[in-house]
Structure 1
Amino acid sequence: MAEQCPRTLALSALSDGQLPPRRLRALRAHIDHCAACEEMLRELEMLRSRLQVLPQERLGFDLGAVIEARIRAPS
């Protein structure tokens, strides 16, 4: 049986440093033998680095509060 590739979410969590050690080791072992996942991880890391250099935008108000008020408002 062929090994299943992880979901993009797992690769993204790896890129973000959000995996527990055991899962990290297993995923790294998979990536070492899977060119497709290695390429996907490379693309995610490139996207992450490009997003980090974007300027921070400030809304000047709490968008969360606006959304909550609209959810609570009668339709």
Structure 2
Amino acid sequence: MDHLLKSTDTIIQTAIDKAIQDNIVSLKKTVALIRAKRPDLKEELDELGTDNELCEKVVKLASASGKVVLFDLHE
């Protein structure tokens, strides 16, 4: 997990930027974009599930930019 969080600040920010529609950031889309950018971390991401530090970091970065975060991870 530490490796993932240390290596993804710019990846997370890029994914957030791509996931923004109007002023809303889709958490589900952001995590999917991170998965696409870092296929080497697939196993580590799979182990995290949806209640994890990566999602918390996405929310913090997105909200710091004044965007609303849509918690749409669960169907």
Larger RCO: 1 or 2 (CA < 8 Å, sep 6+): 2
| TM-score, length of structure 2 as denominator length | 0.42
By percentage of residues, which structure has more strand? 2
Compare CA radii of gyration and give the structure with the larger one.
Answer: 1
| TM-score, length of structure 1 as denominator length | 0.42
